[in-house]
Amino acid sequence: MAEARNCLERWLDRHNHTMELLRKVVAFIVLTPPIIILVRLLGY
């Protein structure tokens, strides 16, 4: 179990920056539709 955990931790360490970028892109994609809907509802 410890060896599998270490392998997973090494993989996560190697892909840390990629996962951070992906997290930001997904957050942007998720937040964009509600903002568009609010702008259209408020008539701006």
Residue 9's SS3 state is helix
From residue 7, alpha-carbon distances to 1, 15, 18, 20, 22 in Å are: 10, 13, 18, 20, 21
Output DSSP code: residue 44: -
Tell me: the pLDDT tens digits for 13-43? 999 999 999 999 999 999 999 999 999 999 8
Q: Is the pLDDT of residue 5 over 80?
A: no
CB atoms within 10 A of CB 20: 10
Q: Which has the closest alpha carbon to 25: 15, 17, 34, 37?
A: 17
Say what the pTM is.
0.65
Q: Report the number of distinct structural domains present in the chain.
A: 1
| Domain that residue 34 falls in | 2-42
